């Protein structure tokens, strides 16, 4: 089977150009960051792919944004006798073929994509820091009601139980708890 894997970083982004015109039996599509390999559609693909399948990916950066995840994903699929084909780079990785040039290209391009992501995050941090200094960046507004959190904590519930009860993260509960102690 020919399986496609498509990934964009945000819901607003369009996936149309990736693997456009290719005949695929099934497509797995993620709309989330590629910063780690725990992605819903990728996990489904890992479960679905069988021996002899070919997974087509538009380019290396769509599959993984860091070298270690990239190599581990390829090893995972190759161990299952599944071939990975990166269309843009025209690199193919299968269980039965070792190609030193392909391995070199994968490592080089993977490193470039990882570097690109790290630089983007660094520029983003610098921009936020400058905007904060200029008073133009206030951060995300508080959207969680504080009083129910304080009430449940006051009744002796643990941070985890409060989070579970209110459907918010334990980190949010902890921040709200410390807000109260600062006042």
d(Cα 77, Cα 88) in Å, to the nearest integer? 19
20 and 102, same domain (yes or no): yes
Residue with tokens 């994509």: 113
Count of structural domains within the chain: 2
Q: Which residues share a beta bridge with 31?
A: 8
45 and 89, same domain (yes or no): yes
> pLDDT per residue over 13-57, tens digit each?
888 888 888 899 999 999 988 888 899 999 999 999 999 999 999
172 domain-assigned: yes
Q: Tell which phi-psi region holds residue 122, choosing left (phi > 0), alpha (psi between -120 and 50) or beta.
A: alpha
d(Cα 183, Cα 31) in Å, to the nearest integer? 40
pLDDT at 110: 86
- Looking at 71, 95, 113, the residue that finishes a domain is 113
95 and 37, same domain (yes or no): yes
Q: Domain of residue 168: give its range.
A: 146-182
pLDDT at 182: 59
pTM above 0.75, yes or no: no
d(Cα 119, Cα 16) in Å, to the nearest integer? 27
6 domain-assigned: yes
Residue 52 near residue 2 (C-beta atoms within 8 A): no
Average per-residue pLDDT in the chain?
88
Which positions are annotated as active-site residues? 9
Report the candidate in 10, 71, 67, 9 with the shortest Cα–Cα distance to residue 34.
Answer: 9
12 and 83, same domain (yes or no): yes
pLDDT under 70 in the chain at which residues?
141, 181-183
CATH of the domain at 56: 3.40.50.1390
128 domain-assigned: no
């Amino acid at each position: 089977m020919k399986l496609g894997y498509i990934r964009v970083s945000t819901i607003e982004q369009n996936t149309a150009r990736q693997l456009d015109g290719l005949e695929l039996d099934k497509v797995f599509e993620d709309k989330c960051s590629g910063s780690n390999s725990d992605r819903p559609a990728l996990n489904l693909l890992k479960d679905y792919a069988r021996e002899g399948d070919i997974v087509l990916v538009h380019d290396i950066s769509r599959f993984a944004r860091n070298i270690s995840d990239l190599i581990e994903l390829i090893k995972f699929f190759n161990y299952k006798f599944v071939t990975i084909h990166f269309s843009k780079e025209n690199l193919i990785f299968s269980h039965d073929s070792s190609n030193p040039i392909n391995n070199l290209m994968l490592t080089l391009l993977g490193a470039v994509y990882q570097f690109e992501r790290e630089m983007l995050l660094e520029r983003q941090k610098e921009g936020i820091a400058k905007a904060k200094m200029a008073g133009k960046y206030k951060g995300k507004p508080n959207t969680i009601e504080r009083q129910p959190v304080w009430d449940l904590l006051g009744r002796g519930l643990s941070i985890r139980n409060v989070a579970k009860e209110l459907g918010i993260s334990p980190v949010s509960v902890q921040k709200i708890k410390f807000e109260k102690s600062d006042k």
